[in-house]
Structure 1
Amino acid sequence: MLLKDIQFLDDATRPPVPVIEGVTPDQREAGNHLRDIHDYLRQHLSTLGQLIERASAGEVAASEVRDAVDSLPITANYRRFGNVCGQYCHLIHKHHTIEDQALFPALATRSPALKAVVERLEAEHVTVHHLLELMITKIMSLSDEPTRAHFDDAVEVFRAFEKLLLSHFKYEEDSIIDALGYYGIL
């Protein structure tokens, strides 16, 4: 019931990716910068998931989770913006804002064939944002009161967020990495 208000999009309804002929290795490498950013985000997502799972299994105390999260590089790098969950939210939000306001319009202008893909990616950003907000709420509830119910909620929402974000990253990479380099956007 936690996820009832989240409007998940069916992966099977994603528009097909248009093939771009003649992409050079240098163009592909330029687009791979997006994958590098996603890899950074995936690494922190994995660490956060492991911490939640370990705490839920009783392997570490909630305070140890807080301490471990506090030691993440993302925490040190963004400490001035608030808590680590807020950091991750801020980072994902900034990443998607840059895509929505700069990369996607440039792609849609240079390649009308990518317009449907870009629209889908933008719609997925909305779903990611809603789920991210819910995840942060549940993790903060867990931090405030580490009950079994709060652990279960945090794990459920985190796993849904993780599944959605990883799928989104993969589709985005498959869809636009070549185009970003080919059209000189990155």
Structure 2
Amino acid sequence: MRRALAARGAGAGRSTGRAGHGYPGPARSLLNRMAMRQNYWSLGAFCATCCRLLATHHLLEDEAMFRKLRTADRDLSPILQRLEEEHELIVGLITCLDQKLVRMIEFNVHKAADL
């Protein structure tokens, strides 16, 4: 954050040449971009944690629980098959979400760089 402020000359004060007497717009814009960067990082960290937990949950079901249930009761096979298909669908949805989040962040990073 300090490097970003230093690189921009803190924004405020530059328009008049006197520190503390400039327009706050550039500094506020910089602070907003830094806040958005933090929000993107937080969203990414939250999403990654949820996805890891979901992947672990599904792995345990697919590799252990579903096998044991099939062995214990063959009548559960159609239900377990459907759950496995849903797991595959969810992987596709998570991949799509991840791609959209990356595009959103890239777009906003490029947009902020143009300011």
- With the shorter chain as reference, the TM-score category is 0.5 to 0.7
1:67–1:131 distance in 2 versus 1, CA, 3 Å: closer
Q: CA deviation at 1:144?
A: 2.0
Calculate the aligned-residue CA RMSD, in Å.
2.4
User: Residue 89 of structure 1 contacts residue 133 of structure 1 at CA under 8 Å; is this kept in 2?
Assistant: no
Find the partner of 1:127 among 62, 66, 89. Answer: 89
Within 2, Cα distance between the matches of 1:90 and 1:134?
16
- Give unpaired runs (5+ residues) of structure 1: 1-60, 71-82, 148-186
TM-score by length of 2: 0.55
Letter in 1 for 2:73: S
- 1:111 aligned partner: 73
**CA deviation map 1:21-48 (0-9, x unaligned):** xxxxxxxxxxxxxxxxxxxxxxxxxxxx
1:63 is the counterpart of 2:25: no
- 2:54 aligned partner: 92
TM-score by length of 1: 0.35
Within 2, Cα distance between the matches of 1:110 and 1:146?
52
- Give the 3-state SS of the residue equivalent to 2:108 in structure 1: coil
User: Residue 89 of structure 1 contacts residue 132 of structure 1 at CA under 8 Å; is this kept in 2?
Assistant: yes
| Structure possessing the higher relative contact order (Cα contacts under 8 Å, 6 or more residues apart) | 1
- Give the 3-state SS of the residue equivalent to 1:145 in structure 2: helix
Within 2, Cα distance between the matches of 1:90 and 1:68?
15
Within 2, Cα distance between the matches of 1:139 and 1:67?
11
Larger radius of gyration: 2
Provide the aligned length of Structure 1 versus Structure 2: 75
1:140–1:85 distance in 2 versus 1, CA, 3 Å: farther
